[in-house]
Amino acid sequence: MSSNQGSSPIPQSSGGTSDGLFRKPRDPSMAPRHYRTPRSLPDVCPKEPTGEGRGLCDGPSVVADQHRWTVYNSKVNLPAALNDPRLAKRESDFFTKTWGLDFTETDVMPSFYLPNISREHFSSYLQETAQREKIHERCKNICLNKDDLSVPTITNNHDKARAELEQVPKIFMKPEFVLNDPATFNAVLPWSHFSVAGGMNSRDVASSRLLQEKLSHYLDVVEVSIARQISLRSEAFFHAMSSQHELQDRLRETADAVAKLRASTAAIDRVMCRGPLRALRDTLTRNNCIKLHNKLKLMAAVHQTQPTVQLLLSTSEFVGALELIATTKEVLQQELQGIHSFRHLASQLCEMERLIDKMMVADFSTYTQSDLNRAFEEDRQVLEKDRLQSLVFGLLRQRKLDFLDIYSEEMIRAAKNIVRQCVVKSVLQISEIDADTVKLHEQMRLMTFHQWFDLLLDIFEHFILFLKRIKATLSVIRNVVLEVLDSSQRSRLADVSLATNHSDGRTNEDEEDESGGPALHSGEAELAYLTHEGLFISDALNEAEQRSNAAAHAQLRAQTHMETCGSDSASATTESSSSREHNSNTTSSLPIGGAAVIEDVMPSDLELSRVANNVQELLYTASDVSHDRCVKVLMTRAKDGSLERLSSSEFVCLSQAVESFARDTEELCGRRSMSLRGALQSQANRFVQRFHEERKTKLSLLLDNERWKQAEVPAEFQDLVDSIADGRITLPERKPTGSEDRKPSEFLCVDGQKYAVVGTVLLLIRMFLEYCQCVNDIPSITTDILTRLADQLKHFNSCSCQLVLGAGALQVVGLKTITTRNLALASRCLQLVLHYIPVIRAHFETRLQPRQYSILRHFDHITKDYNDHIAEISAKLVAIMDSMFEKALSKYEVKAPMPSACLRNVCKQMAKMHEAIYELLPEEQTQMLFLRINASFKLHLKRQLARLGVVNDGGPQYGLVMVDVAFYSENVQALRSLEHLDLNMPETWEQKR
């Protein structure tokens, strides 16, 4: 009843009704346009299945299941849920507690499938109904409502009904009125009026009748009130009933139209849809079966991985086994992930990979031993090149970058074995040495120099072959490393270009999709197969991204894998280029994650560059090791000092052999190893020390036995001097004895001058030529030899000075006196040595580095010392005559007869002096010496005349003195080479003031 209080009467007009209201006639032709197919609301129950977009027939068919009730027919009575009487209060979070906090505040986007309705859509309807609406409003104003005409009557009736209703007890009007409640029941039926024990009496009957009549009266009042309300609203009830009938008619028509539509749709579904849907479902089922079949084939191939790897390892195909393991691991990680039967295969493959690592290291060690220790008679420089390339590529792939350390250790052992084998072979050829009882180092000391030198040459030859083999092997290793580095860089560039082309391809595909062109179907992923022994090894490709390149990648990878895992071990696994092609192709055909795994396995460019540099350093190390072993041989021989006792020619041969070996290794390895040169330099220093001490001792013995007399010059010494003049600062070859009978000469002719020399100087010249010859043969000892030669020249100068000027020869040799001839001869010998000092200096200067020129200052000091010594000898000769002048002229008297005896004695001594030095000293030196002697004579004569008081006054004494002076001048100028000597005798007299 309460629901009808708010309803307003609806005007109704049907054909010939006379209620005064206008009703819009129905247009049969327009009726279907207003009917819309009822759309079922989605079920909001979260636990009910809603179906997936990929399933085409998972939900109920509207056409086939229209007469069968399903869960999709259930609806939610939203007003009933909102007006739930069980709730104490209306919960404000009804929508938000299940569907989220933003449900009520979220702006609902307009549906793309519904048109945007505006007022213009109703303009035609409003124009058609405008006239009718005006008529309707006019009729409402003219025909007043019947209720409005009887307002007082209605009010009176309402008041009367209210008074009658007030007679009914309030308990019947309460909303909690329930007869089940005992209190309510007792209040309505008061049982206290009825007797309980003795049965019903007349009083009780009267009370029950009265109660029944009262309740009947209450019922009548209520029914009258209800009838009155119905009569007041009869028009509304009749209008509602008529509207309900019309609505039922329309619903019936609608149901009939819907039934026809569903029948038509069912026919369409039966004829046109079920077949294609079944075909599509069968296609999907077939694709799933193909995927399952491929997956099973892939599992079968993966199951055969371990036997295949063992087969490859049995033929030492490490690279093929590693590639197969890597491919299988990628397949397990990408395509077969989560398969229970393969849960332990990944760990087993890792163990096999570690085992292969150990096998490769052991195989590389074995290869290195066999390569470095094989006989040198073999012509091949590289042993099993394909095997070496395979091992190096496998070690690089597994990041075992320390394999060069293994090669280095084996190289050191091989170098020791080379020396041992050469010594053993040499000892077997020498019957004097018992190889069983004598140790290795002692065997080399028991050899003669020529035997040991032949052994050293044999060791040098073997080490040259050894280094050639190492260089060839390391060249192969370096080429493999550089090829891997180049392949890595090229694959990186290819990946970049592929990514660029791929992004461009995706852009073009998007453009085709927007323009209505064909688009790629991204439903399934395709597989690429690598064939081996009839099995298949697959790598997953990205489903849509790799479809365009799937066929090319599959072909390349299949071809490369067959090359890698073929039956030919030497050709299939050792070519590093094909292996790297396989690696690059596998990397390019994998998804992004798989490519990242491969890149992590291979060394980086920096590591590869470091390995390439280490290969070159290993060649340098090989050169150093060879030199170190030769140093051991050299030092073992030199331990007892035998190398120091070698002759010059023997040591020169040793030096030349060592220098030749050092040059060969330098050209071969590009490394200047200094250990052998340093050991030879150390021995050369000792040799030079002994060489110098021997000659210094010899020179000392010669000087101690030198009597300082002019010696004859043999022809060989003259030839030696002539060769020096021709620029050959070297010892001439010895001629056979008696081949040329030439008499010795008195003088040594040097550059047109005659030198009277003693025998020691001739041997000294030969000695410094020996020093120069040593420098020619052993350039490394130039500075040491130079200092030793300078010491030798200084030693000769100092010893000759002590023996001649110091008169040491009186005690050493037993000379009675040091004569002027001895002094002149010593001066001439010093001049001869001084003549050759610039020649020696120029010879050493050509063999010194510019930074070593400072050592040539020794020759400047020596030249100064020799010149000082020569000047001292000249001063000594003058001093001898000066003392004679002082002694003779101190007794000079100016008296007849003239010439006086004193001047006769002076002229006699000067003649002896001239005779002693004339043949020894050159003419210029003789004239200069006599000028100095003449100056001394004039000085002493002048002093004696001043003491005697004789002056230049033209008197008799002056005349007598002039006679003696004229006699002195004539005798001096009568000596040979002194004819034109200007004596300047007027200086004898003091000038008058």
CA–CA gap between residue 544 and residue 521 (Å, rounded): 7
Residue 355: pLDDT over 70:
yes
What whole-number percentage of the chain has pLDDT above 70?
Answer: 73
**Tokens found for residue 84:** 């739930």
Is 707 found in the same domain as 658?
A: no
**Tokens found for residue 237:** 């009830």
172-181, 198-207, 228-237, 277-286, range with the lowest pLDDT: 198-207
CA–CA gap between residue 901 and residue 905 (Å, rounded): 6
Using CA of residue 933, residue 936, residue 941, residue 944, what is the dihedral sign?
A: negative
Is 899 found in the same domain as 771?
A: no
User: What pLDDT score was predicted for residue 757?
Assistant: 92
User: What pLDDT score was predicted for residue 138?
Assistant: 80
Q: Confidence class of residue 62 from pLDDT cuts 50, 70 and 90? A: low
* Cα atoms found within 13 Å of the Cα of residue 584, Cβ hemisphere only: 20
Q: What is the DSSP letter of 650?
A: H
CA–CA gap between residue 298 and residue 302 (Å, rounded): 6
Tell me whether residue 612 is in a domain: yes
Is 690 found in the same domain as 668?
A: no
CA–CA gap between residue 886 and residue 943 (Å, rounded): 10
Residue 923: pLDDT over 80:
yes
CA–CA gap between residue 270 and residue 64 (Å, rounded): 9
**Tokens found for residue 363:** 């195989």
901 or 384, greater pLDDT: 901
User: What pLDDT score was predicted for residue 579?
Assistant: 40
Contact at 8 Å (CB) between 443 and 433?
yes
Beta carbons within 10 angstroms of residue 110's beta carbon:
8
Contact at 8 Å (CB) between 304 and 535?
yes
pLDDT digits (tens, 9 = 90+) for 420-452: 888 888 887 776 666 555 666 677 777 888 888
User: What pLDDT score was predicted for residue 438?
Assistant: 60
Residues in the chain: 993
Is 617 found in the same domain as 475?
A: yes
Which of residues 863, 890, 917 is at a domain's end?
890
Number of domains in the chain: 3
Peptide bond into 152 cis (omega under 30): no
916 or 674, greater pLDDT: 916
Mean pLDDT score across all residues of the chain: 75
User: Token match 């002094």: residue?
Assistant: 823
Tell me whether residue 592 is in a domain: no
Give the CATH number for residue 691. Answer: 1.10.357
pLDDT digits (tens, 9 = 90+) for 472-516: 888 888 888 888 888 777 777 877 777 776 566 555 555 544 444
pLDDT digits (tens, 9 = 90+) for 831-865: 999 999 999 999 999 988 889 889 999 999 999 99
Residue 794: pLDDT over 90:
yes
Q: Which H or E element spans position 125?
A: helix 123-142
Residues contacting 430, CB < 8 A, separation 6+: 447, 451
Give the CATH number for residue 906. Answer: 1.20.1280.130
Q: Which amino acid is at 270?
A: R
User: Token match 């002027």: residue?
Assistant: 820
If we measure between CA atoms, which residue out of 385, 460, 480, 457 comes closest to residue 415? Answer: 460
pLDDT digits (tens, 9 = 90+) for 191-208: 655 555 455 667 777 888
Q: What is the largest CA-CA distance in the chain?
A: 232
Enter the pTM of the model: 0.53
Tell me whether residue 395 is in a domain: yes
Mean pLDDT of 753-761: 91
Q: Confidence class of residue 601 from pLDDT cuts 50, 70 and 90? A: low
Q: Confidence class of residue 157 from pLDDT cuts 50, 70 and 90? A: low
Residue 121: pLDDT over 80:
yes
**Tokens found for residue 866:** 């020799």
pLDDT digits (tens, 9 = 90+) for 880-907: 999 999 998 888 888 888 888 898 999 9
Is 846 found in the same domain as 705?
A: yes
334-348, 375-389, 497-511, range with the lowest pLDDT: 497-511
Q: 3-class SS at 749?
A: strand
| Buried-state track 258-290, b at ≥16 Cβ within 10 A, e below 16 | eeeebeebbeebeeeeeeeeeeeeeeeeeeeee
User: Token match 């708010």: residue?
Assistant: 6
Is 693 found in the same domain as 612?
A: no
Residue 386: pLDDT over 60:
yes
Contact at 8 Å (CB) between 774 and 785?
yes
For residue 987, the Cα-to-chain-centroid distance in whole angstroms is: 95
pLDDT digits (tens, 9 = 90+) for 615-639: 888 888 888 888 888 888 888 887 7
Tell me whether residue 216 is in a domain: no
User: Token match 């060394």: residue?
Assistant: 603
Q: Which H or E element spans position 529?
A: strand 527-532
Contact at 8 Å (CB) between 706 and 759?
yes
Q: Which H or E element spans position 484?
A: helix 449-514
Which of residues 890, 906, 927 is at a domain's end?
890
Domain that holds residue 935: 893-992
If we measure between CA atoms, which residue out of 867, 872, 865, 882 comes closest to residue 930? Answer: 882
Is 618 found in the same domain as 710?
A: no
Q: Confidence class of residue 564 from pLDDT cuts 50, 70 and 90? A: very low
Tell me whether residue 696 is in a domain: yes
CA–CA gap between residue 400 and residue 982 (Å, rounded): 98
Is 838 found in the same domain as 910?
A: no
- Dihedral angle computed from the Cα positions of residues 294, 298, 299 and 302, in that order, rounded to the nearest 10 degrees: 180
Helices 550-564/318-334 angle, 10° precision:
140
3-state secondary structure 696-710: HHHHHHHHHHCCCCC
Contact at 8 Å (CB) between 584 and 429?
no
User: What pLDDT score was predicted for residue 94?
Assistant: 55
**Tokens found for residue 296:** 């099973």
The two counts, helices (H) then strands (E), for the chain are 34, 4
Is 951 found in the same domain as 856?
A: no
Q: What is the DSSP letter of 804?
A: I
Q: Confidence class of residue 986 from pLDDT cuts 50, 70 and 90? A: confident
Mean pLDDT of 400-411: 81
Is 639 found in the same domain as 666?
A: yes
Choose the most confident range, by mean pLDDT, from 160-169, 170-179, 721-730, 918-927.
918-927
Tell me whether residue 110 is in a domain: no
Is 700 found in the same domain as 814?
A: yes
Residue 647: pLDDT over 80:
no
Q: Reduced to 3 DSSP states, what percent helix, strand and coil does the chain have, rounded to the nearest 5? A: 70, 0, 30
Tell me whether residue 659 is in a domain: yes
CA–CA gap between residue 375 and residue 365 (Å, rounded): 18
For residue 357, the Cα-to-chain-centroid distance in whole angstroms is: 22
User: What pLDDT score was predicted for residue 352?
Assistant: 76
Which of residues 860, 890, 920 is at a domain's end?
890
Residue 787: pLDDT over 50:
yes
Is 978 found in the same domain as 850?
A: no
Contact at 8 Å (CB) between 680 and 776?
no
Beta carbons within 10 angstroms of residue 424's beta carbon:
12
Beta carbons within 10 angstroms of residue 428's beta carbon:
10
Residue 560: pLDDT over 70:
no
Q: What is the DSSP letter of 144?
A: -
Tell me whether residue 71 is in a domain: no
pLDDT digits (tens, 9 = 90+) for 799-824: 999 999 888 888 888 888 889 999 99
